[in-house]
Amino acid sequence: MRYNDREPIYQQIMSEIKAQIAFGKLTPGMQLPTIKEQAAIMRVNPNTVTRVYALLEQERIITKQKGLGTFVSTGEHLARKLREEIAESATSRFVSELLRLGFSPAEILKHLQHFLARAKGDQGTC
């Protein structure tokens, strides 16, 4: 996983794991790597992973079962909830950026509609 050095790394890893669950790469009940394994995979400080797992556990996205390991929480709504969160967050970033640059809500909506119409059109020709 490539991460950028400017945002807290633990947040980036959390986003990554949430995205993996949201889009089915990690499924409910699936076992996660141990903290050490995860740290090696992501090439980050194990303390960072410890923090990530603790926070994800707090949010009930993952569950630690003593002696067995750490697992993605079960519950069909989890993936959907995370997808919503990701969309919300991306939309927020997109809209905030354009508002900051001085675009009006009406202009933003227009640009978005045009973009989506073109994207749909492209899909049709593929």
Q: Which one, 6 or 120, has the nearer CB to another protein?
A: 6
Q: Which one, 3 or 103, has the nearer CB to another protein?
A: 3
Residue 9's CB: how many other CB atoms inside 10 A?
A: 19
Shortest distance in whole angstroms from residue 81 CB to another protein: 25
Shortest distance in whole angstroms from residue 13 CB to another protein: 10
d(CA 93, CA 97): 6
Answer whether 48's CB lies under 8 Å from 36's CB.
no
Query: Where along the sequence are the contacts to another protein (CB under 8 A)?
Result: 3-10, 36, 39-40, 42-48
Q: Which one, 9 or 17, has the nearer CB to another protein?
A: 9
Phi, psi for 63 (deg, rounded to 5): -130, 135
- Residues in CB range of 121: below 8 A, 6 or more apart: none
Q: Which one, 12 or 72, has the nearer CB to another protein?
A: 12
